Amino acid sequence: MTTSTSNTGPIGVAVIGAGMAGRAHCAGYRSAPTLFDPPLPPLRYVAVIDADAAVAADAATRYGFERSGTDWRELLTDDSVHVVSIVVANALHREIAEALLDAGKHVLSEKPLADTIENARAMADAAAAHPDLVTGTAFVYRRQPAVAAIKNLVGQRLGEVSHFNGRYWCDYANSPLTPMAWRYQGGPGTGALNDIGSHLIDLAEFVCGPMTHVSGASFTTLVKERFVAKGTTYGHSRAELTEEKKAVENDDVATFTATFANGAVGTFSISRIAPGHANSMAFDVFAQHGAAKWDMDRPAEFSVVLNESDDALAAYNGYNQVLVGPAHPYLKGGVPMDFPGVSYGVGDLFGFQARAFLEQVAGIEGGLPPVASFADGLRDLEIINAVISSAAAGGATVELPSHH
Amino acid sequence: MTTSTSNTGPIGVAVIGAGMAGRAHCAGYRSAPTLFDPPLPPLRYVAVIDADAAVAADAATRYGFERSGTDWRELLTDDSVHVVSIVVANALHREIAEALLDAGKHVLSEKPLADTIENARAMADAAAAHPDLVTGTAFVYRRQPAVAAIKNLVGQRLGEVSHFNGRYWCDYANSPLTPMAWRYQGGPGTGALNDIGSHLIDLAEFVCGPMTHVSGASFTTLVKERFVAKGTTYGHSRAELTEEKKAVENDDVATFTATFANGAVGTFSISRIAPGHANSMAFDVFAQHGAAKWDMDRPAEFSVVLNESDDALAAYNGYNQVLVGPAHPYLKGGVPMDFPGVSYGVGDLFGFQARAFLEQVAGIEGGLPPVASFADGLRDLEIINAVISSAAAGGATVELPSHH
Amino acid sequence: MTTSTSNTGPIGVAVIGAGMAGRAHCAGYRSAPTLFDPPLPPLRYVAVIDADAAVAADAATRYGFERSGTDWRELLTDDSVHVVSIVVANALHREIAEALLDAGKHVLSEKPLADTIENARAMADAAAAHPDLVTGTAFVYRRQPAVAAIKNLVGQRLGEVSHFNGRYWCDYANSPLTPMAWRYQGGPGTGALNDIGSHLIDLAEFVCGPMTHVSGASFTTLVKERFVAKGTTYGHSRAELTEEKKAVENDDVATFTATFANGAVGTFSISRIAPGHANSMAFDVFAQHGAAKWDMDRPAEFSVVLNESDDALAAYNGYNQVLVGPAHPYLKGGVPMDFPGVSYGVGDLFGFQARAFLEQVAGIEGGLPPVASFADGLRDLEIINAVISSAAAGGATVELPSHH
Amino acid sequence: MTTSTSNTGPIGVAVIGAGMAGRAHCAGYRSAPTLFDPPLPPLRYVAVIDADAAVAADAATRYGFERSGTDWRELLTDDSVHVVSIVVANALHREIAEALLDAGKHVLSEKPLADTIENARAMADAAAAHPDLVTGTAFVYRRQPAVAAIKNLVGQRLGEVSHFNGRYWCDYANSPLTPMAWRYQGGPGTGALNDIGSHLIDLAEFVCGPMTHVSGASFTTLVKERFVAKGTTYGHSRAELTEEKKAVENDDVATFTATFANGAVGTFSISRIAPGHANSMAFDVFAQHGAAKWDMDRPAEFSVVLNESDDALAAYNGYNQVLVGPAHPYLKGGVPMDFPGVSYGVGDLFGFQARAFLEQVAGIEGGLPPVASFADGLRDLEIINAVISSAAAGGATVELPSHH
């Protein structure tokens, strides 16, 4: 184990936040030791923390954690805890992460890494100050087998990428009756761009390498006011509305273009008012020797063109449908029945992510690709900020800092 | 709890067989208590049994079972075991199931229920003789959210079904270099029909209700001989071949038609030599007021036509793509992030199945649909037998026994 | 020119019947000389005949025919007419065709060749008695570029076909309010099987070669009675209904299996009560070295699997989408802008068919594939008859006459 | 007839240019009188002009024009000619169009309207100076039935459009062995943007209404040099190459964003180096009450979401596949067999376009939508110019002139 909390016993795991995503982290840790080879060292499921004691207790019982609590600070002094997931409101990430790192814990933070770029930078600095600890940002979509398969083709059989065309379209904000909520407040870029575009931006760099510039950013707000709900609302749910309306402050639709260090160009289209798209991220990658595409609506497959034969130039040119299976990343040993055509679900992704993080903590070499670091989490916010700057400057080109 | 082994402690679980499917059962039991409401009673993961001690031990460690062993008979006298999955060769199912039932255990058997219809009938009789015990046949594909969503439409918004058109196409036997194996031996109908057609037949009755007749059965063997491999082979893998060839005794392709009790007609097409189809089951259902279709290659979606408006009769007639989400069976509470477009994997299905069986054992009302019974397992074999009889009689119509 | 009406002037064309299909023949002849190389000999558009004088006159004007008339017999003695299309009610085909052949005309008959197999056989005999005249049955779907491309792969790069799975699904009869019409009367097999199944059967033999047996035929009538309409109805249109109901005498759904001379097996599913399918024919072909599929709903493409590389056996196994273009049959020179991705419409098919028939009449070698003969038209009816016999015998196997 | 060349005889038609597109115009005029109601006035097919006398003669013979010639000026004084299509190199459009208008002819010009915006403006001015003559720009893709069906939904059942996402991807320039040609020379924006992007831009305004700004334009050239061919090359064909290379001067990929007068935002992605896409234009339109999408690879269908019921918000949210048929624009009366699922080809589009132009000339009211005007052709070039300006200014926002 590479942890400063060196010991010879099991790796102790805790999760802070037991909402939907927090429970996904719990489930991921629970399935991690069942997956892949070699076996992980023994794990100990120590604690689930949530401000709501009943929620924390329920999660602890379901996922087999030893105890639950309401105060994350109790983990700081618990020597049996080595690995902690932070799955609470973004504005709390920095304080918790800094404290955990100072206490010698490995930290896996949900994305976005922080609520502001300043806080994200502080967290990346804190991670750099603790090189003996593993830090991660939970860009769980990197674990999708089809996406990983495409990434492995880029720069290899596909050759250098020339063009990335991505979109993330949701419909959660399309109805004017969806009530006002925190997600509709904050300046331009804190809307669709930050909420869902952040995933697409991360995948774009994951697949194509670092961007150098963004350009032509444009934000649009079509639903300009929303009714205030009568009580508390959760997630994207409907609610009884008052007659009061408040202004929507941020972007329903965000579009921009980008250039990559390798000369490729990217087009990005992001919307939260896209009827028919409950939750739909997709991209096309074009390269010297072919193309690939993937659509989260059809997660069990991807499509490729490999221009390696004369056929591809004439009568049989077109996309090849590829159903993911044991020949692709993650699936061999990563799902219970690892034969072709088995698909995978979001739960599997959290298992792969938890396993990868635990492999890093345990110092297992040659296993899964490592989790995105805090630096990667900062990077995502840097790009979002640059897109906001481009929009503020009427679409002007904005140079990105180089990605460390 | 409805078990004869009444107690007030946790429900003890054991799995016999730790190959791929056995491990899937282990994983299913492991995730079952994390899913849905209300919480399950406490579970105890007692034992994994496999003829190969190392395989059993690995599974026990990974999935958190207390011990492993090589002799299933040790479970008979273990009072801490209440629920047992049988996931070994079909020819062993009867002996094990009868012994477990006599020992007061609830038994979930992998499909097909037995190697012969006589043995399956004996197992169904044994189950009937123990009405206090829960028995199940693991038709896990019934747990697919999209399939379950379609079943719920049939007889309801879709009206009475008129036509079922199903196919199960695989390519595992297409290469003449795939070596001879046990699966290519046995009489007509023991090939593609029994191996994969059995799943399709089960889903057809699951969705459309009982069949009354089968007709026009036709078996075809295109690869008439296969080379004997040099050593032992596993699953569908390639191997070094000897020069010796043996005759393939059973069906590469099986086709037949069926009639259902409600007057509907069915067409079935089953092949193990279908290039391009690694593992591809799909069906169309037509009914009075619309249609639905599903394809295992695209598990995260299904398609419906609902002819309820004038639109549907004119300019907007056609299939509606439906991406599964929390509005459909199993997904609300059944996957960690239960928002729209989350997909699901084969691991999720085993979790749903294990949860359903444990709900039955624990006497939880109003939960998941129950697991197919031993009687359902027998039924599947009765239909397969009738198809074999039809083929033997040159395609003549064969009447099925009524389904109890 | 191979015609007995030898002359050195233009080829004179006439069309009998100016309903929808008759006008399609007119349009086909009109575009035929604009297509492909070498140029056709000069054509003369002589006459359009229809029982309704105004309909005939309108068609003649639109398509540039010199005159119109109401009596097909006037063509018999018109030496300027060499080629005649018969596009009237099936029961009239025989009389007209025999008279035209006796008058030395080349005859292209719409399908089905006749109303009864006896009349079809008489027509095939008449054709055989006039070997100097060209006869054709207008199976226009053979002209679809994607279907022709698949046919060209079978027996070649795909190797021997093993399995054909076809379906023709329409929804025109699904509503119980669609009024009674002639198409719902006649015995079993005169419904969906004859109306639309005949096209599928023709394509099956076109792609896979001759069938030898049919088996397991099953007919189902779900809408057992229909209201009589108040006035005359045309095509599939709705109408004001009386309260009188009459029994539907023939098949809403027809299913059967078949075997081919090359050992392949076929599954056929045909329905006129398939909601969501306005007019949907599709098939899959599996063969030694791959597979192909086509769906009339997506006419501009087909899909192939070619198992010629290791890729195809592992990570990139799956269907390749092929968009039809100039690399495929008919499109180079057959559409005005013959670049990739141009699609084609039903009008193009009638142009290809007319051109092919005129090439045969003009004795042009090496051009388009010839039109299906009267013998092919008879063949289609022989297979339909065998399916009817199989159904009458409870699904028993029925041997087909060999195809001459 | 609204022509200044008033007469009582037939409308005389001529086509200048008999290459692929010129022949498509010829074919369109030939089929125009066969389509729709009411019948067109009589047509007279007068002349086909091409610099290559043999090419002109072949086209005249095939399409039934009375004569051919090599000098377009001979049409100026031919009183039997009323309607002329210009289908020659862009740089010649202005001179020919001005002369024809001055001679009192109606003029249909291929797109782009001219080689430079100055010439296009002069042509629009010339058209304005002859209000008694009909002028048109041949944006033939506006005639696609599926595109027209979507246009008809926008602002109506779909409500106001919020977001347009379009792409036109081809692969003709992807191979570095495709030789240098005129299309690779000229400044930024004269490449993919002008060649294929011009179609997409026209459809965007056709469907969504006028744009007001473009922004974030980015041009990328991935294949920076190309080999000079040994002889003359045609179209996109391969050729024997010399060892000499020349610099590619224009864009392989062009991306930009746009805003529309109605507040909607657009994202445009255009590439000529997109492997797997022979000729692939597609777009998504999102609006208040739903969405629609269309892909030229699947021309016979489009997809819609109509959020008009509770269903659409829950279990059955997703795209509805719509197969074009007689319920959609152009198909009723526009194809020979106008039943559902008939598809259409590029030839049909030229027929619809020719018919529309002839209806305008003949003063037929209530028929097909009119052909895009010379002003529309100018507009397309204005937008292209603005995109070029945006790119030159590092992606800055560029305001468009209002569209007259």
pLDDT tens-digit series, residues A223-255: 999 999 887 666 666 678 899 999 999 999 999
Model ipTM over 0.90: yes
Residues A136, A368: Cα–Cα separation, whole Å: 14
Tokens (6 digits) for D275: 């492997």
Fold of D145-298+300-342+380-390: Dihydrodipicolinate Reductase; domain 2 (3.30.360)
Q: Are residues B321 and D319, on separate chains, in Cβ contact within 8 Å? A: yes
For residue B308, what pLDDT is reported? Answer: 62
Residues D249, D256: Cα–Cα separation, whole Å: 19
Alpha carbon distance, N-terminus to C-terminus of chain D: 25
How many CB atoms neighbour CB A180 within 10 A? 21
Q: Give the closest of A220, A267, A273 to D269, CB-based.
A: A267
Q: Mean pLDDT of all residues in chain A?
A: 92
**Most C-contacting residue of D195, D298, D321 (CB-CB within 10 A), to test interface:** D298
Q: Residue C404: which pLDDT band, with cuts at 50, 70 and 90?
A: low
For residue B74, what pLDDT is reported? Answer: 98
Tell me if chain C has a CB within 8 Å of the CB of B263.
yes
Q: Give the closest of C24, C61, C279 to D39, CB-based.
A: C61
B109–chain A nearest CA distance, Å = 17
A249–chain D nearest CA distance, Å = 16
- pLDDT over 70 at D235, yes or no: no
For residue C315, what pLDDT is reported? Answer: 62
For CA atoms A125, A131, A134, A140, the dihedral sign is positive
With a CB cutoff of 8 Å and minimum separation 6, the contacts of D98 are: D122, D123, D126
C218–chain B nearest CA distance, Å = 7
Annotated domain spans of chain A? 11-141, 145-298+300-343+380-390
How many CB atoms neighbour CB D234 within 10 A? 9
D395–chain C nearest CA distance, Å = 32
Which H or E run contains A48? strand A43-49
- pLDDT over 90 at C38, yes or no: yes
Same fold, C11-141 and C145-298+300-341+380-390: no
D31–chain B nearest CA distance, Å = 26
Residues D387, D256: Cα–Cα separation, whole Å: 7
Q: Mean pLDDT of all residues in chain B?
A: 92
Q: What is the mean pLDDT of residues D111-123?
A: 96
For residue C2, what pLDDT is reported? Answer: 43
- Do residues C171 and C274 touch, judged by C-beta distance below 8 A? yes
Tokens (6 digits) for C282: 């599709």
Q: C67-117, pLDDT tens digit by residue?
A: 999 999 999 999 999 999 999 999 999 999 999 999 999 999 999 999 999
Q: C357-378, pLDDT tens digit by residue?
A: 999 999 999 999 999 999 999 9
A210–chain D nearest CA distance, Å = 17
**Most C-contacting residue of A158, A302, A309, A316 (CB-CB within 10 A), to test interface:** A316
Q: Assign residue D189 a region: left if phi > 0, alpha if psi is -120 to 50, beta otherwise?
A: left
Task: State the angle between helix axes of C117-128 and C93-102 in degrees (0 to 180), rounded to the nearest 10.
Answer: 10
- pLDDT over 80 at B317, yes or no: no
Q: Give the closest of C162, C287, C394 to B396, CB-based.
A: C394
Q: Which residues of A touch C301 (CB under 8 A)?
A: 318
How many CB atoms neighbour CB A36 within 10 A? 21
What residue type is D140 in one-letter code?
V
Please report the beta strands in B177-323, taking only residues with DSSP state E, as ranges in sequence order: 211-220, 225-229, 241-247, 253-260, 265-271, 280-287, 290-295, 301-306, 320-323
Q: Which of A 148-167 lie inside 8 A of C, CB atoms?
A: 149
- pLDDT over 60 at A7, yes or no: no
- Do residues D243 and D274 touch, judged by C-beta distance below 8 A? no
Q: B133-144, pLDDT tens digit by residue?
A: 999 999 999 999
- pLDDT over 80 at C311, yes or no: no
Q: What is the mean pLDDT of residues D119-148?
A: 97
Q: Residue B216: which pLDDT band, with cuts at 50, 70 and 90?
A: confident
| CATH class held by domain C11-141 | alpha beta
More confident residue, C6 or A282: A282
The CATH number given to C145-298+300-341+380-390 is 3.30.360.10
Q: Assign residue C343 a region: left if phi > 0, alpha if psi is -120 to 50, beta otherwise?
A: left
Chains in touch with B (≥3 Cβ pairs < 8 A): A, C, D
With a CB cutoff of 8 Å and minimum separation 6, the contacts of A356 are: A143, A367, A368, A369, A370, A371
Q: Residue B237: which pLDDT band, with cuts at 50, 70 and 90?
A: low
For CA atoms B54, B59, B62, B65, the dihedral sign is negative
- pLDDT over 90 at B11, yes or no: yes
For residue B234, what pLDDT is reported? Answer: 60
Nearest CA in chain D to B292: D316
Which H or E run contains A55? helix A53-63
Residues D160, C379: Cα–Cα separation, whole Å: 56
Tokens (6 digits) for D47: 């002349």
Output b/e per residue, A269-308; b: 16+ Cβ within 10 A. Answer: bbbbbbbbbbbbbbbbbbbbbbbbbbbbbbbbbbbbbbbe
Q: Are strands B161-169 and B301-306 parallel, antiparallel or unpaired?
A: unpaired
For residue C313, what pLDDT is reported? Answer: 42
For residue C314, what pLDDT is reported? Answer: 54
Q: Give the closest of D39, D61, D280 to C39, CB-based.
A: D61
Q: Which residues of D touch B317 (CB under 8 A)?
A: 322-323, 340
For residue A337, what pLDDT is reported? Answer: 87
Q: What is the mean pLDDT of residues A155-163?
A: 92
Q: Are residues C346 and D340, on separate chains, in Cβ contact within 8 Å? A: no
A297–chain C nearest CA distance, Å = 18
For residue B402, what pLDDT is reported? Answer: 86
- pLDDT over 70 at B226, yes or no: yes
Tell me if chain B has a CB within 8 Å of the CB of C212.
no
Q: What percent of chain C has pLDDT over 70?
A: 94
Q: What percent of chain B has pLDDT over 70?
A: 94
Residues D94, D101: Cα–Cα separation, whole Å: 11
Q: Which of A357-371, A390-404, B334-348 has the highest mean pLDDT?
A: A357-371
C282–chain D nearest CA distance, Å = 12
Tokens (6 digits) for C189: 């097999």
Tell me if chain D has a CB within 8 Å of the CB of C275.
no
Residues D113, D86: Cα–Cα separation, whole Å: 10
Residues B300, B283: Cα–Cα separation, whole Å: 15
Q: What is the mean pLDDT of residues C324-337?
A: 91
What residue type is A11 in one-letter code?
I
Q: D200-222, pLDDT tens digit by residue?
A: 999 999 999 999 999 989 898 98
How many CB atoms neighbour CB D6 within 10 A? 10
Q: Using CA atoms of A347, A91, A11, A29 in order, give the dihedral in degrees to the nearest 10.
A: -10
**Most A-contacting residue of B55, B58, B168, B344 (CB-CB within 10 A), to test interface:** B344
Residues C42, C28: Cα–Cα separation, whole Å: 15
Q: Are residues A220 and D264, on separate chains, in Cβ contact within 8 Å? A: yes
Q: Residue B4: which pLDDT band, with cuts at 50, 70 and 90?
A: very low
Residues C97, C124: Cα–Cα separation, whole Å: 10
For residue A3, what pLDDT is reported? Answer: 44
**Burial environment of residue B264 by CB neighbours within 10 A (0 to 12, 13 to 18, 19 or more):** buried
For CA atoms D3, D5, D8, D13, the dihedral sign is negative
More confident residue, D196 or B311: D196
Q: Which residues of B touch C168 (CB under 8 A)?
A: none
More confident residue, B293 or A177: B293
Question: Nearest 5°: phi and psi at A368?
Answer: -75, 160
How many CB atoms neighbour CB B365 within 10 A? 5
Q: C165-220, pLDDT tens digit by residue?
A: 999 999 999 888 889 998 999 999 999 999 999 999 999 999 999 999 999 898 98
Q: Which of B 315-344 lie inside 8 A of D, CB atoms?
A: 315-323, 327-328, 340
Q: Are strands B280-287 and B161-169 parallel, antiparallel or unpaired?
A: antiparallel
Question: Nearest 5°: phi and psi at A293?
Answer: -145, 155
Fold of A145-298+300-343+380-390: Dihydrodipicolinate Reductase; domain 2 (3.30.360)
- pLDDT over 90 at C383, yes or no: yes
- Do residues D273 and D259 touch, judged by C-beta distance below 8 A? no
Nearest CA in chain A to D394: A397
- pLDDT over 70 at D313, yes or no: no
Q: Residue D60: which pLDDT band, with cuts at 50, 70 and 90?
A: very high
Tokens (6 digits) for D282: 């597609």
Angle at D74 between CA D72 and CA D80, to 5 degrees: 110
Q: Residue A1: which pLDDT band, with cuts at 50, 70 and 90?
A: very low
Q: What is the mean pLDDT of residues D29-34?
A: 97
Q: Which residues of C touch A331 (CB under 8 A)?
A: none
- pLDDT over 60 at D168, yes or no: yes
- Do residues D82 and D103 touch, judged by C-beta distance below 8 A? no
Q: D277-287, pLDDT tens digit by residue?
A: 989 999 999 99
Q: C58-68, pLDDT tens digit by residue?
A: 999 999 999 99
Q: Residue A294: which pLDDT band, with cuts at 50, 70 and 90?
A: very high
- pLDDT over 70 at D188, yes or no: yes
Q: Are residues C318 and A316, on separate chains, in Cβ contact within 8 Å? A: no
- pLDDT over 50 at B242, yes or no: yes
Q: D260-270, pLDDT tens digit by residue?
A: 999 899 999 99
Q: Are residues D317 and B322, on separate chains, in Cβ contact within 8 Å? A: yes
